Amino acid sequence: MFKRIQSIDDVVIEKIAKLHSPIKNKIMIAVSTSGNMGLVWFAICLPFLINPAWRATGANIVFGLCIAHLMGEIIIKHIVRRTRPCHNLKDEEQIINKPKYYSFPSGHTTASFSVLGVTMLRCSAPVVIAVFLLAVLIGFSRIYLRVHYLSDVVAGAFLGFLCGFASVSIFDYFLAMFI
């Protein structure tokens, strides 16, 4: 089964590499960089945290990001220890610097979909659609830049959803205890 997944991952990486162009590379680098350390998501949280009516949603998004980071970056990556696709490339083939840490699951995607999970349960459709589009674009950028396989991104999306949904339940439970 793992060989089959790896063969699909390899085919996807090869097909997406055919899409590369200087302008697309710059766009994907910008998209991917926005997801570094959850930066774009923390920036999006600011209006939520500033507005008293939305503050709980903003705090829930931050809580979901914390759970996603713990599960993906601290626990799962160090258990699985999957090598990134970029480590199989020549330096001149690489578009961005090779990340130092493991590949599975994609941390950028996990963070993005944890925010999507929270906003799906807490926000109106326009917010959810905007978060969805950005989350998908960030996940795609990681494959495009050859720092993740498709299965890393799919697993990151699934884990992110779980973390986002779980964070809402946990957040509501503790909020009810203190109100």
Mean pLDDT by 10 residues, the chain (179 residues): 88 91 93 91 93 94 96 95 83 75 94 97 96 97 94 97 96 84
User: So what's the pLDDT on residue 126?
Assistant: 96
Which residues participate in catalysis according to the annotation? 108, 148
Structure tokens at 80: 């699985």
Measure Cα distances from 143 to 66, 159, 179 in Å: 24, 17, 44
- Cβ of 63: how many Cβ atoms within 10 Å? 20
Which of 46, 68, 59 has the alpha carbon at shortest distance from 164? 68
User: So what's the pLDDT on residue 1?
Assistant: 78
User: So what's the pLDDT on residue 140?
Assistant: 97
User: So what's the pLDDT on residue 175?
Assistant: 80
Q: Where are the domains of the chain?
A: 38-178
Question: Where do we find the tokens 């990001």?
Answer: 65
Spatial neighbors of 79 by CB under 8 A, at least 6 apart, are none
User: So what's the pLDDT on residue 91?
Assistant: 65
Which of 136, 174, 160 has the alpha carbon at shortest distance from 64? 160
User: So what's the pLDDT on residue 43?
Assistant: 93
150 neighbors 11 (Cβ within 8 angstroms): no
User: So what's the pLDDT on residue 100?
Assistant: 82
